[in-house]
Every structure is written in structure tokens, then in C-alpha cells.
Amino acid sequence: MQELTFSHLSNNDGSYKNTWEEDFRYTKSMKIRGLKMLKIASKVCKWKSIVDVGCGNQQLKPLVFRLNPEAEYIGIDRLNHCSDTIIADFNKGEYPKVTADLAILSGVVEYIYPEMIDRFFSWVCDTSPIIVLSYWPIDFGQKEIMKAAKRRRRPDSWVNHFTISEVITIFSRRGFFPEMIHRYQKSSQYIMLFGRIIE
């Protein structure tokens, strides 16, 4: 695993700062990405329930009901943007017991502390048999990642950096295989869909 450190993301004791802040802007491009992820997942499985991991202001919710009016939507976030959001801070080890046909992780993985990655993904994999996530892998190098952070988000706000191969390994260790890996809009961002291996 390639070790990248950004001192400005650390507290004085070496722990990471939580870079997902309350005033974070939820943009139209995020909503478009979420719709793309839903459509990709819909080609693979007929979902009736969705857990939106790191749901923010629930931009995905109306899109979910547009595609399936009968769907159950579960939104989880560390901030209370919506009254029906389940509040949980993944970086503090808060993992609510929920299950759904499909888990969506849109723009959330980059903010999970490295020391919490194993617990986070173990929980995600227990939550749903189908997982679709967006991620900016480090395959293109640290310089490209830093440029992407400045162009797309607040500068240098991501706290973990994995290659595509490392993301696949994280899931394969938990009995999931990649069904689809899609480079999104000719950027360095990828949408990946994983399914649980049925023995």
C-alpha cells in the first residue's frame, strides 16, 4: 500500500482531523454522479431497498423514488441535514445496524480515516450484498490526486489514498468481487460495483 501523508490533515497528537464539515457544498455534479451510480446498480440487481452511506442532504432520495416508487430509502450521515437521517460518525466507530438490497457510497470513502477503513468496510459488507461506490484512486499519482482535490472539492481534504487494486483487495477479503469498474466522465474518479460471492 502506498503511504501518503498530509500533515495539515493531522492534529497535534498525530490523529486525523474530520475533514467533512457542516458547511460542505452539495453540488449538482454530485447529484448527477449519484444518478449514474443508481442506474449502474439497476442493471445488475432489482433492488427494493437502499442504504445511502454518507447521504448528506439526501440528494439521492428523490432519484431513488423516481426509479422505484416502492423503494425503502435509508440515509446515514454524521450531520443532521434531514430529519429522517440516521446520525453516525464512521470515523468514531458508529455503525448502525441496517440492511438493504443495495448500498451506495457516493463521495464518502475518501473521508474515512485509514485506521477505520477495515471496520468501515466490514460494516458496509454486512449491510448489503451489492455495493456501488465512487472513489478517486491513487493510480494516477499523488500530484493528480492533489490537483483533483483542488478542482473538485475543498483542497487536500481526503484522508486515505488507495489504488484500484487495493480497493478490490479490501472487498475480496470480505467475499465480494468486482462486477464493474467504470472510469467516470474521463476523470481520475471511478465508479465501482461489488457483489457478494455466493458459495
Please write the tens of the pLDDT for every residue from 4-50. 333 334 444 444 455 555 555 666 778 888 999 999 999 988 999 99
Q: Which amino acid is located at 86 in the chain?
A: I
Residue 136 pLDDT exceeds 80: yes
DSSP 53-89: ET-TTTTHHHHHHHH-TT-EEEEEESS-SSTTPEE--
Residue 73 pLDDT exceeds 70: yes
Residue 102 pLDDT exceeds 80: yes
Nearest alpha carbon to residue 160 among 103, 104, 120, 102: 120
15-19, 49-53, 98-102, 137-141: which range is least confident on average?
15-19
CATH of domain 33-196: 3.40.50.150
What's residue 189's pLDDT? 86
Residue 162 pLDDT exceeds 50: yes
- Confidence band for 148, pLDDT divided at 50, 70 and 90: low
Grid-cell match 442504504, residue found: 51
- Selected residue with higher pLDDT from 79 and 143: 79
Characterize 153-176 residue by residue with b for buried, 16 or more Cβ atoms within 10 angstroms of its Cβ, and e for exposed: beeebbbbbbebebbbebbeebeb
What's residue 188's pLDDT? 75
Domain residue spans in the chain? 33-196
> Whole-number mean pLDDT of the chain?
83
Residue 69 pLDDT exceeds 90: yes
Identify the bridge partners of residue 50 per DSSP, sorted by sequence position: 73, 102
Grid-cell match 467504470, residue found: 182
